[in-house]
Structure 1
Amino acid sequence: MKPAEEYILNQPEPFKSMLLHLQILIEGAFPTVDLRCKWRIPVYYLDDKPFCYLNASHKKGFVDVAFWVSAHLTKYTEFLVTENRKVVKSLRYFSVDEINEKILLTVLEEAHQLKDKGFYKRK
């Protein structure tokens, strides 16, 4: 089993359920993504470039789907959280029920289009 998959499966509830749901949505929409472990968290790569990452904050009770190209995202920006981060913005969830698939998939698609336009660097 990959370290990133272990990270997800070893999370306590409700984080595990949120992460598994996000994993299904992301991998279903983008079958060519590669789930890897970087900085001890799951990071999705497209064409060997980081696409987004998942992070469970046990202390604060949420899961983030974070994007490096957030400065270039234009759709559903009112749902993107910066929380004192200069580059990264994220969609933040406190329960599985809060995961709005339309918003998530729209933001993921826009981030994917930015990758095609050269906004991602190899990491």
Structure 2
Amino acid sequence: MKPVDAYFLEQKEPYRSIMLYVREVILKTLPNVQERYSYKIPFYNIGKKPMIYINILKGTDFVDVAFVQGILLEKDFPELQNYNNRKQVRSIQIKHIEDLDEHRFVMLLQAAGKQLEQSKKAWFI
């Protein structure tokens, strides 16, 4: 079993279901994305550049779907939050699967993928 698979299966509900659903939408929407296990969490890269990571932050009750270049997307996608005062990363917090608007999430994934492909590097701040 791959480490990323083990990570998802080790999560408690409802987090496991949320993460597996988000993973499915990411992989279906972005066929060129590569799933990796880095820093003990799942990352989704385009080429060698990280685009998204999924995590449950300590002391929270949601799945944090974080976009590495989220600061460049927040104008068009106001659902992206600057959680915990991060310089560049913006994320959506999901407490229940029903909270995720799949159509809007797909649009966000496509915009993030296009943005990252045009960038020289993922971390710029």
- Could you tell me the TM-score, scaled by structure 1's length? 0.90
Deviation at 1:54, TM superposition (A): 0.4
The count of corresponding residues between Structure 1 and Structure 2 is 121
- Could you tell me the TM-score, scaled by structure 2's length? 0.88
State the identity %. 31
Deviation at 1:117, TM superposition (A): 1.1
DSSP 3-state at the match of 2:56: strand
Equivalent-residue separation in structure 2 for 1:59 and 1:13 (angstroms): 16
DSSP 3-state at the match of 2:76: coil
Task: Give matches, 1:27-38, under 5 Å.
Answer: 27-38=27-38
Task: Give matches, 1:64-103, under 5 Å.
Answer: 64-73=64-73, 74-76=75-77, 78-83=78-83, 84-103=85-104
What amino acid is aligned across from residue 98 of structure 2 in structure 1? D
Deviation at 1:119, TM superposition (A): 4.8
Whose strand fraction is larger, Structure 1's or Structure 2's?
Answer: 1
Superposed CA RMSD in Å reads 1.6
Deviation at 1:120, TM superposition (A): 3.2
Change (3 A) 1:25 1:81: same
Deviation at 1:96, TM superposition (A): 0.7
User: Which stretches of structure 1, 4 residues or more, deviate above 3 A after TM superposition?
Assistant: 119-122
Equivalent-residue separation in structure 2 for 1:98 and 1:36 (angstroms): 25
Equivalent-residue separation in structure 1 for 2:95 and 2:120 (angstroms): 29
Gapped regions of structure 1 (runs ≥ 5): none
DSSP 3-state at the match of 1:59: coil
Equivalent-residue separation in structure 2 for 1:94 and 1:27 (angstroms): 21
Equivalent-residue separation in structure 2 for 1:91 and 1:54 (angstroms): 10
Check whether the contact 1:43–1:53 (CA below 8 A) recurs between aligned residues: yes
Gapped regions of structure 2 (runs ≥ 5): none
What amino acid is aligned across from residue 34 of structure 2 in structure 1? D
